[in-house]
Amino acid sequence: MKYLWLLLFFIGTPAAADDAAVARGKALAEVNCASCHAIEAAGASPLAAAPRFPDIAVSFDLADLEDSLNEGVAADHTIMPDWQMTSEQAHALASYIISLAPGGKLKSEAVPGAQPDLAAAP
Ligand code: HEC
């Protein structure tokens, strides 16, 4: 009961990536995206015109990517299907894609070395 506020905090933070969402996003990507995009950290896209997911991860942050997927990322893309997805699916896919950023770091998190960690209080 003491930690209920913590649980509510995490549920109430839409831009937070979590492991469950990443796993679900990967499963969705395998079925829906892998025919065109490289959906793993390494390897080329089956369709050369489709950017590799790790490259997409570098140019978007989680919230942006989630928004674009929600709004139909294909609006100005000709080859890519205009997905109808729930916001939960968009969150899962975006979480998975962002998890592929080099170093496995979320862009919204501090990149090691870029910003020093706050020293722990004694
Ligand atoms: C039929 C092939 C195809 C499939 C399937 C496909 N894509 Fe794409 N996608 C493309 C191509 C090609 C582009 C590059 C833009 C264009 O020409 O449409 C693209 C672009 C994108 C972009 C934009 C990248 C940018 O920098 O603007 C995102 C994000 C994306 N795809 C995500 C996905 C996700 C997530 C899925 C699965 C749910 C998916 N795509 C399935 C072909 C595909």
Read off the CATH number of the domain in which 75 is found. Answer: 1.10.760.10
pLDDT of residue 79: 66
Separation between Cα atoms, residue 102 and residue 116, nearest integer Å: 19
Mutate-to-test residue for ligand 1 from 26, 36, 45, highest number of ligand atoms within 8 A of CB: 36
Nearest residue by C-alpha to atom 2 in ligand 1:
36
Separation between Cα atoms, residue 64 and residue 72, nearest integer Å: 12
Each residue's pLDDT tens digit, 37-90: 999 999 999 999 999 999 999 888 888 888 888 877 655 566 666 677 888 999
DSSP 21-89: HHHHHHHHHHHHTTTTS--SSSS--SSTTSPPHHHHHHH--HHHHHHHHHH-GGGG-SSS------HHH
Nearest residue by C-alpha to atom 34 in ligand 1:
33
Nearest residue by C-alpha to atom 13 in ligand 1:
50
Nearest residue by C-alpha to atom 14 in ligand 1:
50
Is 20 inside a domain boundary?
yes
pLDDT of residue 5: 57
Q: Which region among 8-12, 82-86, 94-98 has the lowest average model confidence (pLDDT)?
A: 8-12
Is 17 inside a domain boundary?
yes
pLDDT of residue 78: 63
- For residues 103 and 15, the model is more confident at 103
For residues 79 and 33, the answer to whether their CB atoms sit within 8 Å is no
Is 121 inside a domain boundary?
no
Q: Give the number of domains in the chain.
A: 1
Average pLDDT rounded to a whole number, residues 94-112? 69
Average pLDDT rounded to a whole number, residues 30-42? 94
pLDDT of residue 73: 66
Task: Tell whether ligand 1 has an atom less than 6 A from the beta carbon of residue 13.
Answer: no
Classify residue 1 by burial, with Cβ atoms within 10 Å: 0-12, 13-18, 19+. Answer: exposed
Is 120 inside a domain boundary?
no
Task: Tell whether ligand 1 has an atom less than 6 A from the beta carbon of residue 93.
Answer: yes
